[in-house]
Amino acid sequence: MQIICNDEKKEIRPGTTLVAFLAGLGVKPDTVFVECDGVIIKRDEYETFVLTEGARLELIRFVGGG
Amino acid sequence: MPDRKEIEDVLAMRHGAAIQARIQQGVVGIMGLGGLGSAVAVALVRIGIGKLLLADYDVVELSNLNRQYYFADQIGLPKTVALRGTLLRINPYVCLETITERLSEERIPLLFKGVDVLVECFDDPVMKPAALRAALTGLAGVGYVGASGMAGFGDNNRIVTRRIYPRVYLVGDAEAEVGPNQGLMAPRVGIAAHHQANQVLRLLLGVDEES
């Protein structure tokens, strides 16, 4: 099935959780801000949040330094 | 020593009276007083900001002096205390509130309720998205200026300011993190900090445009 991540189509398996999807991208879950279909996802929901067909994800990755 | 009115008059003359009146009413929270936050605070006090809330849990270390607005004689002081001292040397009448604690996603909305603009200047990449979530969910409508990616000596012009939501901005190149031969250094961290400071100013003056 397909989702849209930062305006790009991505093919994923049904049942994929947000944290698994992020791992597939090589992104550390603690360093990314996630919005799905316009809703901000809390960090403690990443493990249980299941992506559904056609979901629109917006990811903002952060790097350290300040 | 100049008195309060002398300082205010000079700023109004330099910046324009109507603009200065708005700056002087501005209340800004700065989360993290490292290379970004200390420079943002200095820039805002120089232009006559009304009030700053300054938050950091850390103390000044020798290794901070390559980029942070502290001095050798301040090593060992809490950053909130050291920076307060420096800012009061620029303007003895500026209103400063210091928060000497480690911030968390839960505490941010409580500590910064009522600010016009919140500036995210953390070093820790975990606190950056946490602060953005805290602001968007717990401080609806607040102006926000975060930062990500300013290590090393990469191209000046890859440091940009992006508008991600109304009144919410991120500064940086989004990728340059600390690594071998890519330390945090005063010049490029300073570029990012001053992008942040100018964006705060724009928000205080009511400018919120797509770039």
Q: Which tens digits make up the pLDDT trace of A6-37?
A: 999 999 999 999 999 999 999 999 999 999 99
pLDDT at B211: 66
Question: What's the pLDDT score for residue B79?
Answer: 98
When scoring A22, A32, A62 by the number of chain B Cβ atoms within 10 A, the one with the most, hence best to mutate, is A62
pLDDT tens digits for A46-65?
Answer: 999 999 999 999 999 999 99
Q: How many angstroms separate the CA atoms of B135 and B142, rounded?
A: 7
Give contacts of B129 with chain A, Cβ < 8 Å: 30-33, 43, 60, 62
pLDDT in tens, B60-75: 999 999 999 999 999 9
Question: Among all residues of chain A, which has the CA nearest to that of B119?
Answer: A66
- Please give the structure tokens belonging to residue B78: 């809490």
Tell me how many degrees the CA angle B122-B29-A59 measures, rounded to the nearest 5.
Answer: 50
Q: Do B147 and A30 touch (CB under 8 A)?
A: no
Report CB contact under 8 Å: A42, B133.
yes
The residue in chain A having the minimum alpha-carbon distance to the alpha carbon of residue B32 is A66
Measured between CA atoms, how close is B124 to chain A, in angstroms? 5
Residues in chain A, overall count: 66
Name which of B39, B37, B42, B72 is nearest B57 in CA terms. B37
Instruction: Return the pLDDT at B177.
Output: 94
Q: Look at residues B95, B65, B110, B79 and name the one whose alpha carbon lies nearest to residue B4.
A: B95
pLDDT value of residue B131: 98
* Per-residue pLDDT at B3: 97
Q: How far apart are CA B95 and CA B88, in angstroms?
A: 9
B4: tokens are 């309060």
SS3 content of chain A, % helix, strand, coil (to 5): 20, 35, 45
Q: Across the interface, do B189 and A64 touch by the CB < 8 Å criterion?
A: no
Question: Which residues does A61 contact at the CB level (< 8 Å), separation at least 6?
Answer: A27, A31, A32, B148, B174
Task: Tell me how far apart the alpha carbons of residues B15 and B65 are, in angstroms, rounded to a whole number.
Answer: 31
Query: Quick one: residue A54, left, alpha or beta (phi over 0 = left, psi -120 to 50 = alpha)?
Result: left
Which chain A residue is nearest to residue B165, measuring alpha carbons?
A: A38
Q: What DSSP state is assigned to residue B174?
A: S
Q: Along chain B (211 residues), what's the average pLDDT of each consecutive run of 10 residues?
A: 97 98 98 98 98 98 98 98 98 98 98 98 98 98 98 98 97 95 97 98 94 66
Q: How far is CA B163 from CA B12, B107, B202, in A?
A: 29, 25, 12
pLDDT digits (tens, 9 = 90+) for A2-12: 999 999 999 99
Strand partners, A57: A5, A36
Bin B47: left if φ > 0, else alpha if -120 < ψ < 50, else beta: alpha
Beta-sheet strands, E only, within chain B: 27-31, 51-55, 95-99, 117-120, 143-147, 160-165, 168-172
ipTM score? 0.96
